[in-house]
Amino acid sequence: MPDTGPRGQRPDQQPPPDPPAAAPAPSAAASRAAKFTSANMVRSLLPLTVLMLVIVWVTSIRQNPEDPVRDVDPGPSIALAAERAGYPLLVPQQLPSGWRTTSVRTSAVSGGPGDPVTLEIGWLTPAEEYAGYVISDGRGVDALDDVLDGATGDGTTRLGGVTWDRRTTERGETALTRTEGPATLLVTGSAPDEELETLAAAVAPYRAP
């Protein structure tokens, strides 16, 4: 009798083997990790890189390495100081061509009603030197004391119809100073005396535009 195998079935009648079990579906985290390849990272960062390059390019074309000086508008600070000062504000006006305002600040920004008001303005002169102007009715103002402390008297000079005291600072720079009511005025800097005198002669009462 032929061997019919298990359960009486012939060998050529055996049932087919079971199909392999299907692999489990990847989790959402695994799917995200698979997508986070180097190529995908580069593609995602490309727009940001392009934007950064554009910003750098725009910044570079706005800056002239041959002229690093940046002009500032002193108008708002002067107007604020004039509004809050307890004295008639005097400022240099109508300076000749070539004077460039490079800095301005005033204590009126943070001061309260009745507080002393200090105004400081700096210029790059036509001789490419620094000239500064300070006016204040405060005591112990650094912008004044840093220049006048230790300065030696050097006579007076008449500029713009007004007498200024001439001094030589400890740094060897000329300082022109005078008082007007409660306020002290100061002109100084590394600029030559002729330019400092031009600045002092331009000082006049401020009038709002």
Three-class secondary structure of residue 84 per DSSP: helix
Please check whether residue 159 is in contact with residue 139, taking contact to mean a CB–CB distance below 8 angstroms: no
Domains belonging to the chain, first-starting first, are 19-62 (no CATH), 75-205 (3.30.200.100)
Percentage of the residues of the chain whose pLDDT score is greater than 70: 68
- Per-residue pLDDT reduced to its tens digit, 4-51: 555 555 555 555 666 555 555 556 555 655 555 666 665 666 666 666
Eight-class DSSP state of 115: -
Eight-class DSSP state of 12: G
What is the chain's length? 209
> How many CA atoms lie within 13 Å of 47's alpha carbon, on the beta-carbon side?
2
Question: How much is the pTM?
Answer: 0.69
Q: Of 205, 196, 178, 208, which is closest to residue 99 (Cα–Cα)? A: 196
Q: CB count, 10 Å around CB of 108?
A: 22
- Per-residue pLDDT reduced to its tens digit, 143-163: 999 999 999 999 999 998 999
- Per-residue pLDDT reduced to its tens digit, 54-103: 555 545 444 455 667 899 999 999 999 999 999 999 999 999 999 999 99
Please check whether residue 108 is in contact with residue 117, taking contact to mean a CB–CB distance below 8 angstroms: yes
